[in-house]
Amino acid sequence: MISNIIDAKSIDALSRLVDKAQNIAITCHKSPDGDAVGSSLALAHLLYRMGKHAQVVTPDMVPKALGFLPGVHTVVVFTKAEQRAREAFERADLIFCLDFNRLHRIDKLGEFVGQCKAPRVLIDHHLDPENIFDVMVSVPEATSTCELVFRVFMQMGLLHLLDRYAAQCLYTGMMTDTGNFTYGNDSPEVYEIVASLMRRHPDRTWLYNNAMNTFSADSVRLQGYALSEKMELFPEYGAALLSLDRDELARFNYRRGDTEGLVNKPLAIPEVSWVVYFREEPDYVKVSCRSVGDFSVDDICKRYFNGGGHLNAAGGEFYGTLAQAVDVFHSILNDLKKENNDEEKQ
């Protein structure tokens, strides 16, 4: 049995908003991943089937690797078509914010969404959501926003609208946010939801190969280089550090998404329980962190890298040079040592 974990009040309020709405805008976090795009497109499919007009607007480009998702060609990208994106929000009588917890996560689009008169609905699984939404479905324990879109429609009694396309999108987000169901949530209900999706024949193998196991030769070589030449281990702290500078990225013709999954690799080493990966971007350093167990990389990203995320997967941005970011990493190790010493003394 899949239980009703979302409170009935939120479901009622959301149902009423959807009933009244005709033009619905849906947006998700910048640098959108399988869960962000999957949940947005699935929601759009479901709303179409309710007779609504729904427009997905992403803050920036959808990675090429997600080009297989049904409906992806309908997405309006804010950085490419600002006017069309603005019109979608101006026209909207309801806005869905998916897979992010704070408006700054959608960049410039955030100011705009913040000012819109239409009610805003959040469906998300990140910690500490901002209190600016008319309805909040915020469940940090959920595997993914895709899982929550499924649960919302289940609790609204509308699962009959879930077709193969929507199932493909929802399966993709649940799969990518759990590393193909290897971490994030052990609840049997996750698999009951997957069973329900499988009845819509989403073709699991095809989705896995497209979303998680398709890399260019350059990107496979770049990941190999990063692991063999650039991985540093700090066994005393259970830590691993990966960093790639602009020249290294250029040498392997880096394209966005080419190092997707790299940050997880050092976790295969038994001595490693958390990993920090720095990638030099033109005006900041992108930070990605992963951990196993109760070591919170959400805390690390909040405290040191202007970011956050989940307990075991978080990210952020560092405004400085790559060398300075590496210095911050070393200062984290020092801080952890101090905190451990203090605890021992107590």
- Using CB under 5 A as the binding rule, the residues of this chain from 217 to 256 that contact Mn ion are none
Distance in angstroms between the alpha carbons of the first and the last residue of the chain: 46
Q: What is the dihedral of CA 322, 300, 269, 245, to 10 degrees?
A: -10
Does residue 317 belong to the site contacting ligand 5GP (CB under 6 A)?
A: yes
Does residue 310 belong to the site contacting ligand 5GP (CB under 6 A)?
A: yes
DSSP states of 122-137: EEE-SSS--S--SEEE
- Using CB under 6 A as the binding rule, the residues of this chain from 287 to 306 that contact ligand 5GP are 288
- Give least dist CB 196 to ligand 5GP, A: 24
Nearer to ligand 5GP, 203 or 317 (CB): 317
**Shortest-Cβ-distance residue relative to ligand 5GP:** 315
The b/e string for 53-65 (b: 16+ C-beta within 10 A; e otherwise) is bbbbbbbbbbbeb
Three-state SS at 123: strand
Say which entry of ligand 5GP, Mn ion, none residue 244 contacts (CB below 5 to 8 A, set by partner kind).
Answer: none
| Token output for 204 | 């699991």
Count of positions on this chain that bind ligand 5GP (CB under 6 A):
12
| Token output for 165 | 């396309």
- Using CB under 6 A as the binding rule, the residues of this chain from 11 to 30 that contact ligand 5GP are 29
Please answer whether residues 135 and 122 qualify as being in contact, where contact means their C-beta atoms are separated by less than 8 angstroms: yes
Helices and strands per DSSP (H, E), number in the chain? 12, 12
Cα angle at 153 between 105 and 197, to 5 degrees? 95
Does residue 59 belong to the site contacting ligand 5GP (CB under 6 A)?
A: no
- Give least dist CB 344 to ligand 5GP, A: 31
What is the C-alpha separation between 148 and 138, in angstroms, rounded? 9
- Give least dist CB 164 to ligand 5GP, A: 27
What is the C-alpha separation between 3 and 78, in angstroms, rounded? 37
Please answer whether residues 179 and 157 qualify as being in contact, where contact means their C-beta atoms are separated by less than 8 angstroms: no
Q: Rg for the chain (alpha carbons), in Å?
A: 20
Please answer whether residues 114 and 130 qualify as being in contact, where contact means their C-beta atoms are separated by less than 8 angstroms: no
Task: Name the one range near Mn ion by CB under 5 A: 101-109, 136-144, 221-229, 262-270.
Answer: 136-144
Binding mask 68-107 for ligand 5GP (x = CB under 6 A): -------------------------------------x--
Q: Which residue has the tokens 């193909």?
A: 180
What is the C-alpha separation between 174 and 166, in angstroms, rounded? 12
Task: Name the one range near ligand 5GP by CB under 6 A: 37-45, 168-176, 192-200, 308-316.
Answer: 308-316
- Give least dist CB 99 to Mn ion, A: 4
Three-state SS at 234: strand
Tell me whether residue 160 is exposed, middle or buried, using C-beta atoms within 10 angstroms of its C-beta: 0 to 12, 13 to 18, 19 or more.
Answer: exposed
- Give least dist CB 288 to ligand 5GP, A: 3
Nearer to ligand 5GP, 133 or 165 (CB): 133
Does residue 314 belong to the site contacting ligand 5GP (CB under 6 A)?
A: yes
Binding mask 159-178 for Mn ion (x = CB under 5 A): ------------------x-
Does residue 313 belong to the site contacting ligand 5GP (CB under 6 A)?
A: yes
Does residue 176 belong to the site contacting ligand 5GP (CB under 6 A)?
A: no
Does residue 266 belong to the site contacting ligand 5GP (CB under 6 A)?
A: no
Does residue 307 belong to the site contacting ligand 5GP (CB under 6 A)?
A: yes
What is the C-alpha separation between 133 and 123, in angstroms, rounded? 10
Nearer to ligand 5GP, 300 or 313 (CB): 313
Say which entry of ligand 5GP, Mn ion, none residue 45 contacts (CB below 5 to 8 A, set by partner kind).
Answer: none
Q: Which residues bind ligand 5GP (CB under 6 A)?
A: 29, 105, 288, 307-310, 313-317
Q: Which residues bind Mn ion (CB under 5 A)?
A: 35, 99, 144-145, 177
